C-alpha cells in the first residue's frame, strides 16, 4: 500500500489556529475571486445551483450524490456507461478482458492521457488511486464498496492494470464507471492530505477545478488539453460553456427565485410546486430527470409489534392512497412507486404494479381480522378496552420531501383509525441511532444506483442497512446469484424474484420513484445527465447570448 504524504493543516497548528485558518480562508476567497474574473474575460461562464452542502467533496472518501454534479467532469473513470443505452464503453481503459471464472479483470489503458497538472496517466496512477481507496485510513464511505470482494490488484505493465476478486462480482464495472472511483493525479494526492485535497482536486476530465470555498462556491474551467473523452461528450464549440461556478442554494424557496432573477443558470431539486409554476415561464426550461435506484420508501420494522405481523404490513400498504400522495406533494412530476427499485433501474419487474392496489375497505377488513376495532369510540383502532391502540412510529429525515409525504400518510391513516407518530431526525446519524434503538415501525431510507445490486445492503440477512430486520436464506441466495454472475438472463430472473419476495413479505411501503426537477434559463441548451441520473454531462452544455 502506498500512503499519501501528510501536510500540516490549520487544525494541527494549535498555537496559531485562529490566525492560520482566517488567513487560509482569506487567501482562498481572494484566489477564487481572481480566477473567476479572469475566466469571465475569456469565455462563456454560468452559475450552477447545488442544493446540499455535503460534509465532504472528496469522491474517494465521501458518498453524497451532490459531489458528483461538479466532479463527474473533473475526473474520468476506467469505464463509462453510455447515457442512451447504459452499455459499458471505454473510458481511461480502451478495453478490458474478464477471465472465464469471472475473477480477473484486465484493463488495457488509454495512452496519451495526462492529468490536469501535467502528470502522465498510466497503470501506476490507477494503482495509486486503488491504494488510496482501499487504505483503511481513507475511511471510504462508498468507493471501497463499489470494488466488491476485492482480493488484490496489480500493474502488469505501463498501460495494463489488473483487478482480481475473491469471488465473482457482476457490479464491478458499474462501480468503476461511477465518479466515486474517478482517477486522481498521484502528484496531487501526494501534495495534499485527505483534508485539503478536496480543495485542490486534479483529474483527467474535461473540466479543471479552479477553486473551492466550502459553503460558498466551487469553480470549474474547461480543460483545454482534453481530447480523450467518450463519444457522448460533445466537442467544444464557440457556444460551449468555458467556466462553471457552482453555488449553494440549500433553502428550497431560493432556487426558483435564483433562476427567475438570473442569479443561477441551472438548478436542480426544485420544489414540485415551484416547478409547476415555472412550467408556464417562457424564460425557463424544465428538465425532469428520473433517478434509478430505490424509491422514496418506508421500511417496515419486522421485529417490533404490530408491524412484526405480515398481515398488518399488507393492510397498511393497502390502506395507502399512494397516487393521492404523489399527486399532492409531487404535482404529478413523479410516478408512483410499486416495488423496491424504481422503474428506470436495471432488471425492474413491472409486475410489482399489480400488488396492493389501494382499497381502504379491504384494509379495514384486514385490521378487523387482526382484532382491531374502535372499542372506546375515540376514532383510534385498538385491541379492546384497556388494550394497545394501533399506534405506529415513523422515523424520517428532512430530505426528499419526506416530511410532506409523512404528513399526508398520517392524515390518510388517521381517517381509518390508525395513529401515526412522526419522528424527524436531523441527519443520517440520527436515523442510525433510531435503528439501533429499534424504536420505530417504519423508517425512511433509500439508496440510488442503476444496478439492482443496490438491494444487497438492505435485504441481505447481514446487510449493513437491513433496517427491516427481515432474514431469509432464500432471499440471500437470490441476491448472491444476482450479484455473482455476468449472465444477463440469470441476473434478471434473480432480481425479479427478489422484488417479488420483498413485496410478498410486505417489507416496504413504496411511495414514489425519484425524479430530480432541474431547470435552466432559456439561453442554456444541452443539459443532459449520465446513466445514474444525478450527474450532468457538463461538456455538452452550450450558452447563447448574455447570462
Query: Both 49 and 155 in a single domain?
Result: yes
In a domain, 7, yes or no: no
Q: What is the pLDDT of residue 428?
A: 85
Query: Would 531 be classed as within a structural domain?
Result: yes
Q: Strands 150-157 and 104-109, how do they pair?
A: unpaired
Strand (E) or helix (H) holding 278: helix 272-278
Cell (9 digits) for 9: 493543516
365 and 426 co-located in one domain: yes
Q: What confidence score (pLDDT) does residue 405 get?
A: 98
Residues 6+ apart with CB under 8 A from 493: none
Residue 395 falls inside a structural domain? yes
- Asked if 262 and 235 touch (Cβ cutoff 8 Å), the reply is no
CATH number for the domain harbouring residue 268: 3.40.190.10
- Do 99 and 205 fall within a single domain? yes
Q: Distance between CA 285 and CA 244 in Å, rounded?
A: 19
pLDDT for 546 equals 55
pLDDT tens sequence across 259-273: 999 999 999 999 999
Same domain, 419 and 455: yes
* Total domains present in the chain: 2
For residues 89 and 183, state if they share a domain.
yes
- Residue 308, all three cell numbers: 412484526
Closest Cα partner for 274 from 289, 290, 254, 246?
Answer: 254
At residue 32, the pLDDT reads: 37
Judgement on whether residues 536 and 493 belong to the same structural domain of the protein: no
CA distance 195 to 234: 34
Has residue 491 been placed in a domain?
yes
In which residue ranges of the chain is pLDDT below 50?
1-41, 547
495-533, pLDDT tens digit by residue?
A: 999 999 999 999 999 999 999 999 999 999 999 999 999
Report if residue 359 sits inside a domain. yes
* Residue 340, domain extent: 296-513
Amino acid at each position: 500500500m502506498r500512503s499519501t504524504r501528510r501536510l500540516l493543516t490549520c487544525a494541527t497548528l494549535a498555537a496559531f489556529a485562529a490566525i492560520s485558518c482566517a488567513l487560509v480562508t482569506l487567501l482562498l476567497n481572494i484566489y477564487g475571486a481572481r480566477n473567476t474574473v479572469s475566466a469571465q474575460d475569456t469565455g462563456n461562464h454560468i452559475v450552477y445551483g447545488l442544493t446540499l452542502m455535503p460534509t465532504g467533496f472528496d469522491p474517494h472518501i465521501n458518498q453524497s450524490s451532490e459531489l458528483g454534479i461538479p466532479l463527474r467532469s473533473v475526473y474520468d473513470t476506467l469505464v463509462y456507461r453510455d447515457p442512451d443505452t447504459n452499455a459499458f464503453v471505454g473510458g481511461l481503459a480502451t478495453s478490458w478482458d474478464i477471465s472465464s471464472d469471472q475473477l480477473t479483470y484486465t484493463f488495457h489503458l488509454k495512452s496519451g492521457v495526462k492529468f490536469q497538472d501535467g502528470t502522465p496517466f498510466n497503470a501506476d496512477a490507477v494503482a495509486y488511486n486503488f491504494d488510496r481507496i482501499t487504505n483503511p485510513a481513507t475511511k471510504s464511505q462508498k468507493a471501497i464498496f463499489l470494488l466488491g470482494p476485492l482480493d488484490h490488484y496489480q500493474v502488469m505493465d505501463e498501460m495494463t492494470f489488473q483487478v482480481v476478486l475473491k469471488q465473482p462480482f457482476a457490479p464491478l464495472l458499474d462501480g468503476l464507471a461511477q465518479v466515486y472511483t474517478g482517477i486522481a493525479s498521484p502528484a496531487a494526492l501526494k501534495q495534499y492530505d485527505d483534508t485539503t485535497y478536496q480543495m485542490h482536486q486534479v483529474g483527467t476530465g474535461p473540466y479543471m477545478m479552479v477553486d473551492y470555498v466550502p459553503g460558498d462556491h466551487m469553480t470549474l474551467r474547461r480543460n483545454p488539453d482534453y481530447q480523450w473523452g467518450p463519444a457522448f461528450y460533445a466537442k467544444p464549440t464557440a457556444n460551449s460553456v468555458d467556466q462553471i461556478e457552482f453555488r449553494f442554494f440549500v433553502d428550497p424557496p431560493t432556487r426558483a427565485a435564483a433562476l427567475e432573477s438570473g442569479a443561477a443558470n441551472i438548478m436542480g431539486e426544485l420544489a414540485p410546486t415551484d416547478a409547476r409554476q415555472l412550467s408556464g415561464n417562457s424564460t425557463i426550461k424544465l428538465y425532469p430527470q428520473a433517478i434509478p435506484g430505490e424509491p422514496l420508501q418506508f421500511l417496515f420494522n419486522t421485529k417490533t409489534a404490530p408491524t412484526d405481523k405480515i398481515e398488518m404490513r399488507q393492510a397498511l400498504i393497502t390502506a395507502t392512497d399512494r397516487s393521492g400522495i404523489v399527486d399532492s406533494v409531487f404535482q404529478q412530476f413523479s410516478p408512483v412507486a410499486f416495488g423496491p427499485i424504481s422503474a428506470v433501474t436495471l432488471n425492474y419487474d413491472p409486475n410489482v404494479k399489480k400488488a396492493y392496489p389501494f382499497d381502504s375497505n379491504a384494509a379495514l377488513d384486514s385490521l378487523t381480522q387482526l382484532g382491531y376495532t374502535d372499542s372506546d369510540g375515540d376514532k383510534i383502532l385498538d385491541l379492546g378496552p384497556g388494550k394497545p391502540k394501533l399506534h405506529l412510529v415513523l422515523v424520517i429525515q428532512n430530505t426528499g420531501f419526506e416530511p410532506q409525504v409523512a404528513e399526508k400518510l398520517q392524515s390518510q391513516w388517521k381517517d381509518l383509525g390508525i395513529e401515526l407518530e412522526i419522528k424527524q431526525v436531523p441527519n443520517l446519524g440520527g436515523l442510525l441511532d433510531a435503528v439501533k434503538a429499534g424504536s420505530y415501525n417504519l423508517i425512511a431510507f433509500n439508496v440510488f444506483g442503476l444496478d439492482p445490486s443496490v438491494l444487497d445492503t438492505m435485504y441481505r440477512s447481514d446487510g449493513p442497512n437491513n433496517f427491516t430486520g427481515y432474514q431469509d436464506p432464500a432471499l440471500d441466495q437470490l441476491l448472491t446469484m444476482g450479484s455473482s454472475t455476468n449472465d444477463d438472463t440469470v441476473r434478471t430472473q434473480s432480481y425479479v424474484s427478489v422484488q417479488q419476495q420483498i413485496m410478498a413479505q410486505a417489507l416496504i411501503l413504496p411511495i414514489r420513484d425519484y425524479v430530480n426537477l432541474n431547470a435552466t434559463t432559456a439561453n442554456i441548451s444541452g443539459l443532459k445527465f449520465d446513466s445514474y441520473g444525478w450527474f450532468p454531462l457538463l461538456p455538452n452544455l452550450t450558452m447563447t447570448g448574455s447570462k
